[in-house]
């Protein structure tokens, strides 16, 4: 509902469908991080009614340039266990979502890029009530406790968040503010990119 509200406000302010989708996506990143966000990828289909034309945008994650074909194999050639491969930095692809949204906005956006990030930034700072869906996802995840930052956010006092929790995420607000000001390069270059690289490498 919070994402739909953000998109609706952008439409009412004169934004395009692409503008609204970007605002909604940024809020989804905050309220449903298990399903959607700037750390992943996506696809976008844009339909121009006047021209009866569909344009597709591919923002799927890509493999890092240093990846090798044996990354998910042990030294003896046998496959690594799921948690060894997936719950680590090994399975992290280069996110494509923000670059894709920026391309779509360049083609079809009406409102300024930075304005589209404000709903998510505001919610990140003031907090939002945890949904039943997010609470259930956290409760069912057996690996969140392995990552220090994930653990402190989703498992305060070593207990899963519940629908009684109000979550705030200043770190995300800071990243979104950087991207709002600097465009997608604020994510793919500079301090944010270096922090992601370091976290993945040392996961």
Q: Is 106 helix (H, G, I), strand (E, B) or coil?
A: helix
- List the single range of 35-39, 121-125, 149-153, 158-162 with lowest mean pLDDT: 149-153
Query: What's the pLDDT band for 50 if we cut at 50, 70, 90?
Result: very high
Q: In this structure, how many other beta carbons lie within 10 angstroms of the beta carbon of residue 88?
A: 15
Kind of pairing between the strands at 43-48 and 128-129: unpaired
Query: What's the pLDDT band for 51 if we cut at 50, 70, 90?
Result: very high
Say what percent of the chain tops pLDDT 70.
100
The total number of residues written for the chain in this structure? 203
pLDDT in tens, 92-142: 999 999 999 999 999 999 999 999 999 999 999 999 999 999 999 999 998
To which residue do tokens 């690996």 refer? 143
Contacts of 159 (CB under 8 A, 6+ apart): none
Residue of 99, 66, 63, 60 whose CA lies nearest to 187: 99
Query: What's the pLDDT band for 32 if we cut at 50, 70, 90?
Result: very high
Kind of pairing between the strands at 43-48 and 53-58: antiparallel
Q: How far apart are CA 62 and CA 96, in angstroms?
A: 7
Q: What is the pLDDT of residue 70?
A: 93
Q: What is the pLDDT of residue 89?
A: 87
Do residues 82 and 143 touch, judged by C-beta distance below 8 A?
Answer: no
pLDDT in tens, 161-173: 999 999 999 999 9
Q: In this structure, how many other beta carbons lie within 10 angstroms of the beta carbon of residue 200?
A: 16
């Amino acid at each position: 509902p919070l994402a739909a509200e953000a998109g609706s406000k952008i439409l009412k302010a004169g934004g395009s469908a692409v503008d609204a989708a970007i605002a909604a996506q940024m809020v989804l990143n905050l309220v449903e991080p298990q399903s959607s966000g700037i750390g992943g990828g996506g696809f976008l289909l844009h339909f121009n009614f006047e021209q009866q034309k569909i344009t597709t945008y591919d923002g799927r994650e890509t493999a890092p340039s240093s990846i090798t074909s044996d990354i998910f194999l042990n030294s003896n050639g046998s496959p690594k266990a799921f948690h060894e491969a997936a719950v680590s930095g090994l399975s992290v692809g280069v996110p494509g979502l923000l670059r894709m949204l920026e391309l779509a906005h360049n083609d079809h956006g009406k409102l300024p890029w930075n304005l589209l990030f404000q709903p998510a930034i505001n919610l990140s700072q003031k907090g939002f009530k945890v949904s039943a869906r997010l609470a259930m996802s956290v409760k069912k995840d057996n690996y969140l406790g392995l990552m220090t930052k994930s653990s402190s956010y989703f498992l305060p006092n070593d207990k899963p968040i519940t629908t009684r929790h109000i979550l705030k995420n200043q770190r995300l607000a800071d990243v979104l503010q950087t991207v709002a000001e600097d465009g997608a390069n604020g994510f793919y270059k500079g301090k944010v990119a270096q922090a992601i690289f370091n976290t993945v490498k040392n996961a």
